[in-house]
Structure 1
Amino acid sequence: MKKKLSTTDITGVILAGGRGSRMGGQDKGLIDFNGLPLVEHLLNALQPQTGAVLINANRNHERYQRYGLPVVNDELSGFQGPLAGFAAAMQEAKTAYIMTVPCDGPTIAPDMAERLLQALQQNDAELAVAHDGERLQPVHALIPVSLLPSLLAFLENGDRKIDLWYAQHRMARADFADCRDMFRNINTPEQQAEMEGVKIPLPSSTTPFPILGFCAWSGTGKTTLLTELIPRLKFAGLRLTVIKHGHHNIELDTPGKDSYRFREAGADQVLLASRKRMAMMQECKTQREPELVDVLHFVNPDCADLVLVEGFKHTAIPKIEVHRPSLGKPLLFPDDSHVIALATDDMTLETPPHITKLDINQPDQIAEFVLNWMKKGETPPSTHHIRSAPSCADDLDPTSLSVAAARSRIMDALQTVSPALKRPLRDALGHILAEDVISPLNVPNHVNSAMDGYALNGTDLPGDAIREYRVIGTVFAGVPFSASCAQGECVRIMTGAPMPTGTDTVVMQEQTEAGAAGRVRIGAGHRSGQNVRQAGEDIAKDSCVISAGRRINPADLGVLASLGISELSVYRPLRVAFFSTGDELRSIGETLRDGEVYDSNRYALYGMLKQLNVDILDMGVVRDDPTALEAAFLQASAIADVVITSGGVSVGEADYTKLILDKLGQINFWKIAIKPGRPLAFGKLGNALFFGLPGNPVAVMVTFLQFVQPALLKLAGQTADQALLVDAISQSRLKKRPGRMEFQRGTVSRAADGKLVVEKSGYQGSGVLSSMSKGNCLIILPEASATVEPGDVVQVQLFGW
């Protein structure tokens, strides 16, 4: 048994060193929580139970240093996860142990250090890690500083997973099942609001179907109960959707099955379809636990009179708790106000009046309770209020597609449509290469000098003393030299000239001095082979010089000319037809009457299309008339590869727009969780692809950049079809509520310290086009992010990428 340790042997470590990719790029340790930054809550909890405290952070050092504590940066580059923070803290700590906690959880057990110490000593272990009753919580740990060499060796091998490093050592599990709230961290504004006790709308209040959760400790029998309830609820005529939360792989992801092989090969989404059922597997790119609101995006309302949820126990939805006292686990409902009933095998348990007690062995009784609960939730029609449908003013509409999902659907439906043609080299500028260019020769095509100087054999270079050489001639670029260079001899050589026989090294003329007549003096310090360009050093014969899919630029013309290539196989430019719809629109030069506006959308679209080197067919303004619209759609689809319209795809627009599009083609109308620009239509009109954009000017430009531009680039054959995003520090307060991805207009510049900074460019309304004109980028605020404060890091998309 190890000698009992005391709190003076422990340094508490707050890990705040992450990328800041969640909560809109905010530093979570500095997020305000119930009036104090999160880091202060942790400091107040750690200081009474540890001998010292330090903070691991990779940004905002000045703000953390205000607390008068050591602030250490990860010494490993590239944000290599919590282990990098462990290593930095272990090197800084003056105690035998460190105790780590993440910065984004506002509470820890008041006896956390004592519990970890007890587990460590009782199990004669090297380190102790918290366990919540279901799984390990690896960032809540007690680790000896003496393991630093082991950790550094682990990281140097390229490993990053905490559990793999723990597995190399004797590890004790400390039981924290009775205080699981300490492991709840804040990754979304919804979680922050819920944990602060702020009343926020339940997911069920924003969906067209009621949601009922079933929560319990693992092994209690939630799944068994649900399988008994489902047939009874189906018998009552309900259409049921069931959502199950798992922490790792999903059970249909079985080795040997085709779907497993597709996913293992790298597919981001795998869809399975038969005449009986459909299934979908999608990779979670965020690397965070999904929230229930994320999953609700995929629920088909046609299958959902009621959504039953197993898991997501911390989500604010009505729940039935399943409880078996024999398992020795505590009840959840004392700390969860959303529990409405308790299904248990001990009917003697006392419950508050608002919680109905149900016999877990009587599924008929529980099904009847669920049906009665649904009836109580029905709201009779009101004569005083209008029931609102989802609109572009809503921040969260579960029936909307995410930006990523909409872009993925579009891109998956595309193939390059333009045939290849031959173009003279100069005329290929700006076009997209259709075939790889293979070099017919070496560049340079012979071994030559990279300097003006003297060529000689590297084995004949001087040693420690200055040596004199006889100059046997001079060789110029483009002129061969027939003589051979022997020992004690050299050749005067010019840049680009072929290396004479017997030479492989050039000493630049500035590092020589004249000797006797016809001689040159060379000193020590040179190496064999210096200042010589080998044949094929730049481009090797038969190598791929430029790959298909690249847009030819001026440098490419120079490279290809150096190979003697006179023409290229390029894709034909796309033909894109576009027009605006609306009786209120007038073209430049016409006189405006009351209620009329000049059509700015066509000019913005023209400018963005012009930059893509497509053939542009501007069809003007088409009035809101069924005959005129149908004629315009037919004409555009007959002459163009792609047809783009602005206006006419929102709720409230003339119904015949949708009817005409459905008549002439296969069109999908989507609501997208984006601001500005929620409505979008995409599909086919005859042989042409169709994009129907919103009518507001900024929404037109934003949806074009996010959906149309990458689609056009892929259709045209270009391989680089996604925008380059960069990080910048916000100088403005950017107001936002969670629920939609927002694209605010901004101006990015470089500050005096060399860092990129961005500030918003004026009022952000979707009709205020001047904000696009004044700015040079879009500031991207993810769906889950809330208001951005000055100093927070955001991603920006530069115009004209």
Structure 2
Amino acid sequence: MAQLSDDCFAHGGALIRLDDALADLGQRLKPVTTVETLPLQGCRGRALARPVEAQVAVPPRDNSAVDGYAVYFDDLSSDAETVLPVIGRAAAGHPFPGPQPRGTAVRVLTGAVMPEGQNGAPDTVMMQEDCRLEGERVVIRPGIKRGANRRLAGEDVRSGEIVLPAERLLGAAELALAAAAGHATLEVYRPLKVALLSTGDEVHPAGGSLPPGGIYDANRPLLSALLAAAGCVVSDLGIQPDRRDHLVRVFGEAAATHDAVISSGGVSTGDEDHVKAAIEANGSLHFWRLAIKPGRPVALGQIGRVPFFGLPGNPVAAMLTFCFFARPLLQRLGGAVPVPPRGYPVVSGFGYKKKSDRREWVRVSLESDGQGGWRAEKYPVDGAGVITSLTRTDGLIELAEDVTRLEPGMRVPFYPYAELGSGAV
């Protein structure tokens, strides 16, 4: 498996702002996956390994934007109707079979290549609704502009132009552009193979009976879905006993066959928390104290030279630290330039206090403000373990580090869960 070259996650432990942490780690991390060539149909969600250069202009030749008549603008009267003979027809894929003489019109359908010309070229298309046909002649009203309704060759893309940069994540629009530019295959990074596991003797798989003190494992299904949405191939290693020697072996075997390893909870210095010791037996571990709420402590390290992410145990904190922190780092390791989630301005319907120098996300539902906008209302229970605060809300509002008080009516950025890769679509 591909690996990191050194201890990229080394950190001194001081509280650090999220943007600073992402910028720091983004400079250190490089793609760890290999490159493969795939047909376009297999490239959705992948990151480009090489820039894509247009092999042809798009469109390749001047063409008509409407159904109408191709004419020479200089043949038209500026203040009276012009009558021209219609000498033929052109449709998409069926060009007019020869040069169009001056003083004539050619019937053209949308997408048809503009006819070649004599003493210039037909440069204007009169929309069929703005003229009338009288036998084999077309009557054109005055007032049309030169070049109207004509799409120019290379209007969208010039031949030889770089249309998609390396490290771009490929969606439907990018694949359409690559095809229009002449490419049937692309060089892309192989998706990250990520091993996912839970630890803790109190954690049990859903569906069975719970012993006293037991809880069902919610984080593994949560993180598996988030990883899949991020384009990773997930290996579910289940719930592992919290014993040092056992975890040393499990983590070592996982690192041997995966590009990254993720666990949640159990990364501390308690008597029964053996993840830290198991990671350090195989490599290194560092605690990044992020200035965020929920989710401040995140463990980052390397098992050998394979990256390890230790996320908080509370489900809400696990989700938010993954979406805002781990996800962009995994995208970088997978060869992509991370795309930050977009926040949309809404009006707050509630007041709120917070500490300075800490970014906070508050779970909210949106309600119409009656004026064409949206008002955010806070979910009444906001603990980091309250999963219903995710299922009964629409997303998060973000309060920046320098904000200490939110008043009703203030505008704040809202992040729908779909922007974080955690929505149902």
In the superposition, the TM-score normalised over structure 1's length comes to 0.48
Aligned to 1:800, the other structure's residue is in SS state helix
Deviation at 1:739, TM superposition (A): 5.2
Q: Is 1:710 the equivalent of 2:325?
A: no
Deviation at 1:479, TM superposition (A): 2.0
Which residue does the alignment assign to 1:769? 387
Unaligned runs of 5+ in 1: 1-297, 301-397
Contact 1:650 1:694 in 2 (8 A): no
What do you get for the CA RMSD once the two structures are aligned?
2.2
Aligned to 1:631, the other structure's residue is in SS state helix
Which residue does the alignment assign to 1:759? 377
Which residue does the alignment assign to 1:746? 364
Which residue does the alignment assign to 1:504? 123
Cα separation, 2, equivalents of 1:478 and 1:678: 60
Cα separation, 2, equivalents of 1:584 and 1:687: 30
Q: Deviations over 1:552-580 (max 9, x none)?
A: 21223333333442211110000111111
Contact 1:761 1:772 in 2 (8 A): no
Q: 1:595 aligns with which of 185, 198, 213?
A: 213
Give the number of the structure whose residues are more often helix, by fraction. Answer: 1
The share of aligned pairs that are identical, in percent, is 38
Deviating more after overlay: 530-539 vs 471-480: 471-480
Q: Is 1:417 the equivalent of 2:32?
A: yes
Which residue does the alignment assign to 1:463? 78
Deviation at 1:750, TM superposition (A): 5.5
After superposition, where does 1:648-797 map in structure 2 within 5 Å? 648-652=266-270, 654=272, 656-738=274-356, 740-748=358-366, 751-797=369-415
Cα separation, 1, equivalents of 2:258 and 2:369: 45
In the superposition, the TM-score normalised over structure 2's length comes to 0.89
The structure-2 alpha-carbon separation of the partners of 1:537 and 1:670, relative to structure 1 and needing over 3 Å to count, comes to closer
The structure-2 alpha-carbon separation of the partners of 1:554 and 1:408, relative to structure 1 and needing over 3 Å to count, comes to closer
Cα separation, 1, equivalents of 2:20 and 2:114: 59
The structure-2 alpha-carbon separation of the partners of 1:674 and 1:706, relative to structure 1 and needing over 3 Å to count, comes to same
Which residue does the alignment assign to 1:200? none
Cα separation, 2, equivalents of 1:501 and 1:750: 56
Q: Which amino acid aligns with 1:796?
A: F
Contact 2:124 2:149 in 1 (8 A): yes
The structure-2 alpha-carbon separation of the partners of 1:501 and 1:784, relative to structure 1 and needing over 3 Å to count, comes to closer
Contact 2:346 2:411 in 1 (8 A): yes
After superposition, where does 1:133-532 map in structure 2 within 5 Å? 399-502=14-117, 503-515=122-134, 517-532=135-150
Cα separation, 2, equivalents of 1:784 and 1:484: 68
Deviation at 1:483, TM superposition (A): 4.1
Cα separation, 1, equivalents of 2:343 and 2:193: 28
The structure-2 alpha-carbon separation of the partners of 1:766 and 1:528, relative to structure 1 and needing over 3 Å to count, comes to same
Deviation at 1:773, TM superposition (A): 1.7
Aligned to 2:406, the other structure's residue is in SS state coil
Q: Deviations over 1:593-624 (max 9, x none)?
A: 11100000001101111101111011111122
Deviation at 1:732, TM superposition (A): 2.2
Q: 1:638 aligns with which of 233, 256, 265?
A: 256
Cα separation, 2, equivalents of 1:627 and 1:544: 52
Cα separation, 1, equivalents of 2:269 and 2:186: 48
Cα separation, 2, equivalents of 1:657 and 1:563: 50
Unaligned runs of 5+ in 2: 1-10, 420-425
Q: Deviations over 1:62-90 (max 9, x none)?
A: xxxxxxxxxxxxxxxxxxxxxxxxxxxxx
Q: Which amino acid aligns with 2:144?
A: H
Q: How many residues align?
A: 405
Q: Which amino acid aligns with 1:429?
A: R
Q: Deviations over 1:493-520 (max 9, x none)?
A: 22222222331111111111133x3212
Deviation at 1:633, TM superposition (A): 1.3
Q: 1:536 aligns with which of 154, 162, 169?
A: 154
Larger relative contact order (Cα-Cα within 8 Å, sequence gap ≥ 6): 2
Cα separation, 1, equivalents of 2:158 and 2:95: 22
